[in-house]
A and B are shown apart, each in its own frame.
Chain A
Amino acid sequence: MGQLLSGLWGVWQAGRAAAYGIIAGVAVSQPASRRATPTTSEKVANAPLSVVAFNSSIATPTPTSSSSSSSTATTPSTTTTTTTMPSQPQPSQGTTTPSAAPSTSAPSTSTSTSASKPAKQQSSKQAPKPKDNASSAPAGSSDSAALTPAELKKKAKAEKAARRARERADREQPGAAGGAPGTPSAKKGAAGPGAGGKDSAATTGAQQQQQKGQKQAPRRGSAQLSGQPSAAEVKKKQEEKNVSVFGHLYGQQRRTTVAGAGKEVHPAVLALGLQMRDYVVCGSSARCVATLLAFKRVIEAYTTPLGTSLARHLTTHLSHQITYLSTCRPLSISQGNAIRALKLAIASIDPSVPEADAKATLSDFIDSFIREKITVADQVIAGSAAQKIQDGDVVVTFAGSSIVKQTLLTAHKQGKKFRVSIIDSRPLFEGKNLARTLATAGLDVQYSLMNGISHAIKDATKVFLGAHAMTSNGRLYSRVGTALVAMSAKERAGGVEVPVIVCCETVKFTDRVALDSIVVNEIADADELVIAEPVQQLTGLPDPAAPAVELKKGKAAPPPVEPSTASQNMSSPLKDWKDSANLQLLNIMYDVTPAEYVDMVVTEMGSLPPSAVPIVHRMSTNL
């Protein structure tokens, strides 16, 4: 009995370590990439790096579990299964478990060659290939060929049911975590302690992250700290925290880990999803390009299963990737447009074309789409928008649009003398990167936050804005706060209106219409608004050592749940906003600027009034 308990203890420890690995992996990838100036290309180039981080986090369970359970090596088989449970989507499948192993070998090669484009391709080729071998040799050929359609359907149904059950278990975890790690009953019992361990590890990890000023942590952490409510209570509580006007937008919470992702999802897409969730890849065009590049790798790694054609099956295969991406963060308009174009291209492939040729065609299509719709379009837009800037201008811009940045840099290169005033907002502070880039390039930059709008606009001569999308009724759908800037430009006290120029690729045009910012919007995690003080980063230095210490201490004194550290006490008054009734935090991502505030939309097809958006959109989609 004692042996069994200690064995379970080892399991629990290992589970903790596994969850740690995941969170640490994300944590590592976050600050590094957030500090980096994310131009479109750079952002994309980041992808393989954090694939590495993600892969290595998967790899961690194996060594840690063996080390921690070395003293009590009683049930090695259970340790491995339970450690892989939280991180691996489908441990029972057998196809994914081997796939993880080869993909972990990729990091060493891709890190050494850094994050350049060839490296990316290299890793992309390397990672999926063994998987193909592994999956197609034992399972792929025999399994899917032998099964009748009815059986396939049944299998899919079973998978779905299993996934649902797991999701439910996930939700119940907070409640289960409090219980003692024991009483194993069939399969769920095995998952219980693992899940519990993972969860408490997530809590400690969350605390750590809170100190480090990371987001994403409080989601689980705070939910757990507030007693051990049942799943229903949690849900109710969640709903109470939703702003009722925006109730339709809450939907599902953003995915926090890659756990539970379908086995079809390509590692590159997995990583991209997390990056998009954490705003590492942020901005409409950047997300679009990154998605297309990831899909290119998906297509490269894709083999058509027997019995279907590429044109038919690839679309469904891609839709798995798309579903995963949209659970990480709702898709942008540009992403949607790009995906639509890609699906159209796939559907138009002749089934008789050999697979290799078809894949090459699609790769070419993606490349040319990126080039035509975004890369070259950006250059054209930057060129024509830069012409609008004259010597002595004071250009006001909001947040950090990549196309506006390019425009300003182009104008600067043309030798124009002008000043830039950047207005920025919480919580993303995208303007900071823009300010840094422009200042480094030698421009005269002034920076203020939302409270300084009326001062910044006072001596402005032009306003340049980026766009998330342009709606068919000519309204600008862009980062929240844009409308305020455009409004201040138009309603200036002096009576002299400042021209508002929007730079926008036509790929961001949509046939949707919007009247207000409430019907269509995106809700981000409200915890992002809770200010994590950067000072704590300095004071909380013992962090790196903490896990090691805790692991040792943990053996002596079980459940080491220390909810608060000294530094947490001085955190913001919003820290436990989820526990105070009636208090809601709202963190919307976009707002809609009325068409009358926009004087001109600069696109790659020319400079248009906002009323021309639907026509251009029709033209560009019908082509």
Chain B
Amino acid sequence: MPSSSVALTPGLASFLKSLKTNPIDTSIDDLISLLKRRQIRHSRSCATATAYLLRSVISACRTSDANKLIERVQYVGRRVMAAQPREMVVGNIVRRVLGLIRDEAEDDREADFTLSDAGSESQPQTPRILDDISESLSARHDGSDRSSRQPFTSLSAPPISMFSLLSHPEPESSLPGTPASASPSGRLPSQIHNKDIRAEVLDGINEIIDELGQVDDQIAAYALDHIHSNEIILTHTSSTTVQKFLLKAAAKRKFTVIHAESYPNNHEATHATVSGQTPDDDELLSTEAFQKPLIALGITVILIPDSAVFALMSRVNKVILGTHSVLANGGLVAAAGTRVIARAAKVHQTPVVVVSGVYKLSPVYPFDFDSLIEYGDASKVIGYEDGDLVDQIDVQNPLYDYVPAESIDLYITNLGGHAPSYLYRIVSDHYRKEDINV
């Protein structure tokens, strides 16, 4: 996908480039050190890197035994997750890949079963009941497919369950990589060997990667449902998801954006986003660097320091926030300062909307909030010019805030809008119980 940029500094681009040439163990170590050094930071970059890494891990793994694959992925996954335990997206991707393998393995077993026993219709469906609820559209799609291929599928059950794995609502089935079109075609030749789980898992991972690439646009598609004309919207940090969301709405409607700058950790990126100057952050993929700023679309953007949030909240209609990761209880871990903003919004009865890809949704329940918080570079708070002061006092620079579910009114994911209380359902759709503890 983003192999265009010449990345000299270590980051996502350089990692993806080296992934093709380096032996797999080197790549694993490479990613671990990148994560440890926080040279890959954004949650999406982390997710992409993990997905690509796991793809090469699986393709390098010369076995067709599902258990061995699971073991291998678990081993790699544990190591990568340990490199950055607070980056939950890494764990999410590992879990999803594990889920893919498990599904494939089960399907194979069931296929064997159905081959001998002339397939009852209900059995292959059992694993996908959960999924059907949330995604009626794709389910309907699947259903029609299934009925049309009924004679064929009775021979080989796996394609049916494949849909359940890869189900994401993609109305435009013409898009490459959508489950409806891609998976059966990719599947058909492989089922002849009937045993090659790997190819299917690789397909699945490719779809995850595709999902990561499209997730912002999918979320942005809901923008017009949530932003009305002349609205005043407050946002925080330079989240690309939020920017795309707002840009999509800006194409049709006029509104005002108040942007809190999130000093000191993200203000430079925020300023760059706001003023439309290309951020020299090579972690962001090249497509986003060329994105138009909101101001170019005639949207008035007001940049404020974080302290002015309360003062302005009475004028704000809606708070739209990006996030770092979402937890199963509906709470979220987001850039520091988000919690106060969400609270201030609550006090003023202003709705708080969180936009986030499903890949950020983690099955972790937070029992110890402090463990989720990462602390950053204190020199951003007090520079080295004030070295004497730094010696005397304890300077703190938290990077993240835990925001409880009560402060959030709505989540918008690539699957649509959800109440915070509904998130656990989506979690159970996407991750298998066995994998919650990798």
- Which positions in A face B, CB cutoff 8 Å? 243, 245, 425-427, 432, 435-436, 439-440, 444-456, 479-481, 483-484, 487-488, 491, 493, 516-518, 521, 529, 531, 534, 572-574, 577, 580-588, 590-592
For the complex formed, measure the closest distance between the CB of A577 and the CB atoms of chain B, giving whole angstroms: 6
List of A residues within 8 angstroms of B304 by Cβ: 585-588
Q: Is the CB of A591 within 8 A of B340?
A: no
User: Scoring B residues 302 to 341 as 1 if CB is less than 8 Å from chain A, else 0, what string do you get?
Assistant: 1111111111101100000000000000000001110110
List of B residues within 8 angstroms of A531 by Cβ: 267, 271
List of A residues within 8 angstroms of B337 by Cβ: 450-451, 453
Q: Is the CB of A583 within 8 A of B305?
A: no
For the complex formed, measure the closest distance between the CB of B4 and the CB atoms of chain A, giving whole angstroms: 23
Task: Name the residue on B nearest A492 (C-beta).
Answer: B343
Which of B49-57, B66-74, B105-113, B380-388 interfaces with chain A?
B380-388
Q: Is the CB of A581 within 8 A of B389?
A: no
List of A residues within 8 angstroms of B222 by Cβ: none
Q: Is the CB of A453 within 8 A of B340?
A: yes
Q: For the complex, is B277 an interface residue (Cβ under 8 Å from A)?
A: yes
Task: Name the residue on A nearest B257 (C-beta).
Answer: A582
Q: Is the CB of B385 within 8 A of A456?
A: no
Q: For the complex, is B276 an interface residue (Cβ under 8 Å from A)?
A: yes
Task: Name the residue on A nearest B306 (C-beta).
Answer: A450
Q: Is the CB of A455 within 8 A of B373?
A: yes
User: In the complex, A454→B274 CA distance in Å?
Assistant: 26
Q: Is the CB of A451 within 8 A of B271?
A: no
List of B residues within 8 angstroms of A445 by Cβ: 392-394
Which of B8-16, B160-168, B353-361, B396-404 interfaces with chain A?
B396-404
In-complex Cβ contact of B395 among A447, A480, A582 (8 A): A447
Q: Is the CB of B275 within 8 A of A577?
A: yes
Given contacts A518-B312, A574-B303, 9 further A-B contacts (CB under 8 A): A435-B393, A484-B340, A487-B344, A517-B310, A517-B314, A534-B383, A573-B274, A585-B303, A590-B311
For the complex formed, measure the closest distance between the CB of A427 and the CB atoms of chain B, giving whole angstroms: 7
Q: A439-B392, A439-B393, A451-B398 are in contact. Are A483 and B303 (CB under 8 A)?
A: no
Task: Name the residue on B nearest A530 (C-beta).
Answer: B271
List of B residues within 8 angstroms of A581 by Cβ: 295
Task: Name the residue on B nearest A577 (C-beta).
Answer: B275
Q: What are 25 pairs between A and B in contact, CB < 8 Å?
A: A425-B306, A425-B307, A426-B305, A432-B382, A432-B386, A432-B389, A439-B393, A449-B263, A449-B264, A451-B265, A451-B337, A453-B337, A453-B340, A455-B398, A483-B344, A488-B340, A573-B279, A574-B275, A577-B303, A580-B275, A582-B301, A583-B274, A583-B301, A584-B300, A584-B302
User: In the complex, A580→B314 CA distance in Å?
Assistant: 27
Interface centre among B263, B303, B347 (most CB of A within 10 A): B303
List of A residues within 8 angstroms of B385 by Cβ: 534
In-complex Cβ contact of B303 among A440, A488, A586 (8 A): A586
* Chain B residues bordering chain A, tally (CB within 8 A): 59
List of B residues within 8 angstroms of A453 by Cβ: 337, 339-340
For the complex formed, measure the closest distance between the CB of A428 and the CB atoms of chain B, giving whole angstroms: 10
User: In the complex, A432→B277 CA distance in Å?
Assistant: 31
In-complex Cβ contact of B306 among A451, A456, A577, A583 (8 A): A451
List of B residues within 8 angstroms of A573 by Cβ: 268, 271-272, 274-275, 277, 279
Q: For the complex, is B143 an interface residue (Cβ under 8 Å from A)?
A: no
List of A residues within 8 angstroms of B299 by Cβ: 582
Q: Is the CB of A446 within 8 A of B396?
A: yes
Q: A439-B393, A450-B263, A452-B398 are in contact. Are A592 and B311 (CB under 8 A)?
A: yes
Q: Is the CB of B395 within 8 A of A585?
A: no
List of A residues within 8 angstroms of B343 by Cβ: 487-488, 491
Interface centre among B301, B302, B307, B389 (most CB of A within 10 A): B307
Q: Is the CB of A484 within 8 A of B302?
A: no
Q: Is the CB of B393 within 8 A of A447?
A: yes
Residues facing A in B248-272 (CB within 8 A) are 261-265, 267-268, 271-272
Q: For the complex, is B23 an interface residue (Cβ under 8 Å from A)?
A: no
For the complex formed, measure the closest distance between the CB of A116 and the CB atoms of chain B, giving whole angstroms: 26
In the A-B complex, the 4 residue pairs with the smallest Cβ-Cβ separation, listed nearest first, are A481-B307, A517-B311, A439-B392, A451-B336
In-complex Cβ contact of A448 among B261, B314, B398, B401 (8 A): B398
Task: Name the residue on B nearest A483 (C-beta).
Answer: B310
User: In the complex, A451→B296 CA distance in Å?
Assistant: 29
List of B residues within 8 angstroms of A243 by Cβ: 302
User: In the complex, A450→B347 CA distance in Å?
Assistant: 18
Q: A448-B398, A572-B271 are in contact. Are A529 and B305 (CB under 8 A)?
A: yes
List of A residues within 8 angstroms of B347 by Cβ: 487, 491
List of A residues within 8 angstroms of B298 by Cβ: 582
For the complex formed, measure the closest distance between the CB of B208 and the CB atoms of chain A, giving whole angstroms: 32
Q: Is the CB of A454 within 8 A of B339?
A: yes
For the complex formed, measure the closest distance between the CB of B251 and the CB atoms of chain A, giving whole angstroms: 15
Q: Is the CB of A452 within 8 A of B336?
A: yes
Task: Name the residue on B nearest A440 (C-beta).
Answer: B392
In-complex Cβ contact of A518 among B262, B265, B305, B315 (8 A): B315
User: In the complex, A234→B360 CA distance in Å?
Assistant: 47
User: In the complex, A540→B361 CA distance in Å?
Assistant: 48
Task: Name the residue on B nearest A537 (C-beta).
Answer: B385
Task: Name the residue on A nearest B303 (C-beta).
Answer: A585
User: In the complex, A436→B393 CA distance in Å?
Assistant: 8
Q: Is the CB of A447 within 8 A of B336?
A: no
List of A residues within 8 angstroms of B395 by Cβ: 446-448
List of B residues within 8 angstroms of A446 by Cβ: 393-396
User: In the complex, A586→B303 CA distance in Å?
Assistant: 6
Q: Is the CB of A529 within 8 A of B393?
A: no
Q: Is the CB of B340 within 8 A of A447?
A: no
Residues facing A in B349-390 (CB within 8 A) are 373, 381-383, 385-386, 389
List of A residues within 8 angstroms of B308 by Cβ: 480-481, 586, 588, 591
Q: Is the CB of B310 within 8 A of A425?
A: no
User: In the complex, A449→B381 CA distance in Å?
Assistant: 7
Q: Is the CB of A451 within 8 A of B311?
A: no
Task: Name the residue on B nearest A579 (C-beta).
Answer: B275
Q: Is the CB of A484 within 8 A of B404?
A: no
List of B residues within 8 angstroms of A483 by Cβ: 310-311, 344
User: In the complex, A425→B389 CA distance in Å?
Assistant: 17
Q: Is the CB of A448 within 8 A of B381?
A: yes
Q: Is the CB of B340 within 8 A of A450?
A: yes
User: In the complex, A22→B278 CA distance in Å?
Assistant: 37
User: In the complex, A590→B312 CA distance in Å?
Assistant: 11
Q: Is the CB of B310 within 8 A of A580?
A: no
For the complex formed, measure the closest distance between the CB of A212 and the CB atoms of chain B, giving whole angstroms: 13
Task: Name the residue on B nearest A450 (C-beta).
Answer: B306
Task: Name the residue on A nearest B395 (C-beta).
Answer: A447
User: Scoring B residues 393 to 424 as 1 if CB is less than 8 Å from chain A, else 0, what string do you get?
Assistant: 11111100100100000000000000000000
Q: Is the CB of A585 within 8 A of B302?
A: yes
User: In the complex, A516→B276 CA distance in Å?
Assistant: 32
List of A residues within 8 angstroms of B392 by Cβ: 436, 439-440, 445
Q: Is the CB of B301 within 8 A of A584?
A: yes
For the complex formed, measure the closest distance between the CB of B317 and the CB atoms of chain A, giving whole angstroms: 13
Interface centre among A444, A479, A572, A592 (most CB of B within 10 A): A572
User: In the complex, A574→B269 CA distance in Å?
Assistant: 11
User: In the complex, A572→B268 CA distance in Å?
Assistant: 7
Task: Name the residue on A nearest B265 (C-beta).
Answer: A451
Interface centre among B295, B311, B343, B381 (most CB of A within 10 A): B311
List of A residues within 8 angstroms of B268 by Cβ: 572-573
User: In the complex, A455→B337 CA distance in Å?
Assistant: 10
User: In the complex, A572→B103 CA distance in Å?
Assistant: 50
For the complex formed, measure the closest distance between the CB of A465 and the CB atoms of chain B, giving whole angstroms: 13
In-complex Cβ contact of A452 among B300, B311, B396 (8 A): B396
In-complex Cβ contact of A480 among B307, B373, B393, B398 (8 A): B307
User: In the complex, A463→B303 CA distance in Å?
Assistant: 28
User: In the complex, A493→B342 CA distance in Å?
Assistant: 12
Q: Is the CB of B276 within 8 A of A580?
A: yes
User: In the complex, A299→B424 CA distance in Å?
Assistant: 73
Residues facing A in B184-227 (CB within 8 A) are none
List of B residues within 8 angstroms of A481 by Cβ: 306-308, 310
For the complex formed, measure the closest distance between the CB of B382 and the CB atoms of chain A, giving whole angstroms: 7
